[in-house]
Structures are given as structure tokens and as C-alpha cells.
């Protein structure tokens, strides 16, 4: 089974089988920094009894270093061999015996899947088939073919998993930013939903621009296994998923006005790639990072990398009549202002490439009402070091107050000092308490369908694709 355990206490409370035992598959900096406090509270509140970790053997030194600095130690840690078979990223032969052993002593299990994206599907499939509650990181899965991402397989894989899950009692959720977010969901989406019902007005335009502020160097595109671009997936399958999911939630609001209609979406995309980066970042800055690579990629590194920046235009139609309801854009861009100033990636730091995000979103209800939000990160500098990054949001609304009595033509509100990760923690806490209902697996089929066709669209560079939303 090729495992190493840091504790022999697994069977200590064999008689206590009511509370679930949490298995964390993939123990990266996000889990340590963002979710360990949630796990600690869940243990303290007796929603789970304890937790174990499954990681790759190649990460053993890093994992032991992390564990040495945390208060709540895992019951056990299991190390799997790095992938040995081509195209297999979650080897059932390696991890199934571990799950069975933990279940033997602990009974009920809950599994948080936080591996690199390629391995999501294998663990999720196992949890679904074996009726084990799971929470999978975004994006839910990335089907691979011959070592490269194949987006054409997404929807069929999703539908299969959801159909199997329907026959079981276990619950499965997806971790994403935009289901419990203080601004996007609570302050913008919910009030707009109420306004659409009040006015009986559809969503007629929607524009979203996510500026990721991510700065990877050419050598990092080749070497990184966390957030990699070398497997032919990029912004769509990394941070962009949060905002694609948010866009789908807005577009689906049209069901409030046309509940019996089927909607079709036509999209057209343009994308930039790592191979374009050398011409896009000024030489006086890239040379300071030893990153002036005019002939990159070449030779064995000439395989296609995932996109770094893309813009998708779309129109949403009522399928039966062909009438257009919503026009808009979704822009997911990495090559935007960053806080990176270091040549080499720092160890034990999650924000290795200086990411600092900015999101602009506007939704309009024909001639009656619109809402605009600009939400951006605010780095806090302390003695030349950035010790934390909070967020600021400005929400502006325009209304035809001539027709809508009691309304104002223009209103504005601001929110300061909050953290995007609060929404992730809220989702994690709800899941650990068996109370998660906003981000269940089946509710992500539409999002993953849009992911599939956006990924396909980037490869066609401007050619339109139409599909049912």
C-alpha cells in the first residue's frame, strides 16, 4: 500500500462512529492557511472527530514541515507514490486500501478533495460510487487524454457522476468563491433577483471582467505542478472558474421571467497564451527576472500551454423563438497588475506569483435598472512586506426613478476590509456541519458546460459555438 503514518491513534476511539472522520486529499498551503481553522472548529463542535491526510510521497518533507507548525495535528498521514502509469493521476490501487483502512476504524467518512486538478475526477468518482460525502475544489474535473486536457469530455463526465450520485445518499459539493460571497452573492445577486421579480424584467446585458494579477515566468510554466499551464488548461480551469460560475448564476436568473423556456448560448472567444507573453511584458522588467525568452517555447517544450488571458462575447437566446435576451462579455485575464517583485518562487507561500485581483461586473434589466460592482484586492504593506490582502467593493445602481416611484436615480454603497476567503470558509463550515446546499455537485452542471465550451472556443479563436445553457 506504500503508506507512512505520523500517528498510530487511528483506532483509538473505534467505538465512536457517529461523527465522521475527515480525509483531506492534498494538503497544500490553501488548506493550512484557509481551512484548518474551520476543521479545528468542526472538531471542537463535534461535527467531525478528527482528520487524516493523503499526499504524494514527493511532498513528504513539505507536509512534515507544515504539520510541525500547526496546532491540530492529523490522526494519520498517508503518502502515495507519484503517478506511475501514464494518464492515471489518482490511482485506485494506491488510495483505495487507505480509505478502506480508515473506514474500518472510523466508520463514517467525509472527504475533501484538494489535489491538483488532474486528480479530482478519480477521487470524486470513488466517493460517489462508495457513498462517501465529498467536497471537491474547483474546477470539479479536467478530463485528460494523452497527458493533455480535453475539454470535449467534461459534460459527459459530469453527467455520469451526477447520475450515479442521485442513486446514493451521500452529499457532494464543490468549493468555489461565488456561492457564499458577501458582495457577489449577498449584495448584488440576491437584490437583483428580487428586482427582476418585482419588475418582471429579464437580464438584458451582463459584463464581467476578472483581472487576476498573476505573473508567471516562462520557466515556471514549464516546471509548476500546482496551478500548471503545461497540461493545456489555463485561466478557465484555474481562478477563472469562480467567475464563470458567477456568470452562470446571473444568466440563470432569466428563468425567473421565462420559467418554461430553454436557453441557448452562443459564444465567441479570443485568447492569449504563455507563448505570447514575451511580447506583452516590457523587456526592462522581464529582463530583471531573467525572463526575456523570445524563442520560447522550443524543442521538447513546444507543446501547447493553457491560456493566460481570454475574452468571450456571448448572446443568450430563447431557443424556441430565437429571440435574444442577454448580450455580454466574460473576460478572464492574468496579465494585469501584480504585486510580484521576486525572481524565484518563495516556499511555503500560497500567493507565489503575486496575484492581486480586481473584478468589475455590470448587470442590466433593460431600460429600468442596472447594478455595477467593482471589487478589488487591497494589499496592506508593513515594513516593505505585504502581510495581508483585504478587499474593497463599490456597488452602484441606476434606476429609472421617473417610472419607479420611491426609487432613486443613482445610489452607491461601499464595503471595506473584508476577505474573499470568508466565502470559502463559510462553504467549508457549512459542509463540515452537513448544512451545505448552495454549491452541490448537480448545481454545477451548467457551469461546467460553459467551462467546456469556453475552453473549446479559445482554440477556435473567434469562431462562434452555440449550445444549450
Cell 505573473 appears where?
215
Distances in Å between the Cα of 455 and the Cα atoms of 17, 69, 99, 268, 452 are 44, 40, 34, 11, 5
pLDDT of residue 8: 43
Q: 349 is written with which cell numbers? A: 507561500
pLDDT of residue 15: 40
> In 3D, which of 30, 54, 39, 426 has the Cα closest to residue 239?
30
Cell 462575447 appears where?
313
The answer to whether the CB of 356 falls within 8 A of the CB of 367 is no
Instruction: Residue 77: count other Cβ atoms within 10 Å of its Cβ.
Output: 21
pLDDT of residue 16: 44
φ, ψ (nearest 5 deg) of residue 207: -130, 130
DSSP conformation letters of 270-287: EEE-GGGGGGTS-HHHHG
pLDDT of residue 345: 83
- pTM listed for this prediction: 0.92
Alpha carbons 40 and 195: distance in angstroms, whole number = 40
> In 3D, which of 271, 278, 280, 331 has the Cα closest to residue 306?
271
pLDDT of residue 382: 63
pLDDT of residue 403: 94
Chain CA centroid to CA 234, Å? 12
Q: What separation, in Å, do the N-terminal and C-terminal C-alpha atoms of the chain show?
A: 44
pLDDT of residue 13: 45
Structure confidence by residue, pLDDT tens digits, 308-323: 999 999 999 999 999 9
DSSP conformation letters of 387-443: EEEEEEEEEEEEE-TTTSTT--SEEEEEEEEE-THHHHHHHHHHHHTT---SSBGGG
Residue numbers in the chain where pLDDT is lower than 70: 1-18, 299-303, 348-350, 381-388
Amino acid at each position: 500500500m506504500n503508506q507512512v503514518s505520523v500517528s498510530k491513534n487511528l483506532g483509538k476511539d473505534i467505538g465512536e462512529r457517529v461523527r465522521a472522520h475527515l480525509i483531506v486529499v492534498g494538503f497544500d498551503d490553501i488548506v493550512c492557511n484557509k481551512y484548518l481553522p474551520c476543521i479545528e472548529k468542526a472538531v471542537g463542535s463535534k461535527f467531525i472527530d478528527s482528520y487524516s491526510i493523503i499526499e504524494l510521497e514527493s511532498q513528504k518533507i513539505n507536509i512534515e514541515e507544515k504539520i510541525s507548525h500547526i496546532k491540530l495535528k492529523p490522526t494519520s498521514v498517508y503518502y502515495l507514490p507519484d503517478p506511475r502509469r501514464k494518464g492515471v493521476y489518482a490511482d485506485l490501487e494506491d488510495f483505495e486500501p487507505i480509505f478502506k483502512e480508515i473506514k474500518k476504524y472510523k466508520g463514517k467518512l467525509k472527504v475533501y478533495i484538494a489535489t491538483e486538478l488532474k486528480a479530482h475526477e478519480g477521487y470524486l468518482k470513488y466517493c460517489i460510487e462508495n457513498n462517501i460525502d465529498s467536497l471537491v475544489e474547483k474546477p470539479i474535473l479536467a478530463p485528460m487524454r494523452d497527458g493533455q486536457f480535453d475539454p470535449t469530455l467534461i459534460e459527459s463526465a459530469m453527467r455520469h457522476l451526477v447520475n450515479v450520485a442521485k442513486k446514493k445518499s451521500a452529499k457532494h459539493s464543490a468549493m468555489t468563491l461565488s456561492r457564499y460571497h458577501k458582495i457577489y452573492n449577498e449584495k448584488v445577486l440576491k437584490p437583483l433577483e428580487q428586482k427582476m421579480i418585482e419588475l418582471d424584467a429579464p437580464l438584458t446585458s451582463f459584463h464581467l471582467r476578472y483581472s487576476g494579477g498573476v505573473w508567471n515566468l516562462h520557466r515556471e510554466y514549464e516546471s509548476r505542478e500546482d496551478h500548471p499551464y503545461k497540461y493545456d488548461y489555463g485561466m478557465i480551469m484555474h481562478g477563472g472558474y469562480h467567475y464563470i460560475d458567477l456568470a452562470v448564476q446571473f444568466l440563470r436568473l432569466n428563468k425567473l421571467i421565462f420559467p418554461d423556456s430553454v436557453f441557448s448560448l452562443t459564444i465567441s472567444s479570443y485568447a492569449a497564451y504563455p507563448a505570447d507573453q514575451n511580447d506583452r511584458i516590457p523587456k526592462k522588467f522581464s529582463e530583471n527576472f531573467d525572463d526575456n525568452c523570445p524563442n520560447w517555447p522550443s524543442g521538447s517544450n513546444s507543446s501547447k500551454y493553457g491560456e493566460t488571458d481570454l475574452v468571450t462575447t456571448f448572446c443568450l437566446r430563447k431557443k424556441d423563438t430565437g429571440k435574444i435576451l442577454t448580450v455580454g462579455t466574460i473576460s478572464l485575464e492574468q496579465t494585469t497588475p501584480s504585486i510580484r517583485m521576486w525572481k524565484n518562487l518563495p516556499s511555503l507561500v500560497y500567493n507565489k506569483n503575486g496575484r492581486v485581483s480586481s473584478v468589475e461586473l455590470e448587470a442590466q434589466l433593460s431600460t429600468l435598472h442596472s447594478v455595477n460592482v467593482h471589487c478589488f484586492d487591497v494589499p496592506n504593506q508593513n515594513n516593505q512586506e505585504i502581510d495581508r490582502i483585504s478587499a474593497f467593493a463599490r456597488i452602484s445602481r441606476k434606476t429609472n426613478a421617473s417610472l419607479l416611484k420611491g426609487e432613486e436615480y443613482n445610489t452607491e454603497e461601499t464595503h471595506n476590509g473584508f476577505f474573499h476567503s470568508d466565502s470559502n470558509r463559510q462553504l467549508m463550515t457549512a459542509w463540515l456541519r452537513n448544512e451545505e446546499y448552495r454549491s452541490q455537485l448537480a448545481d454545477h452542471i451548467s457551469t461546467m458546460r460553459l467551462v467546456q465550451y469556453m475552453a473549446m472556443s479559445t482554440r477556435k479563436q473567434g469562431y462562434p459555438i452555440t449550445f444549450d445553457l
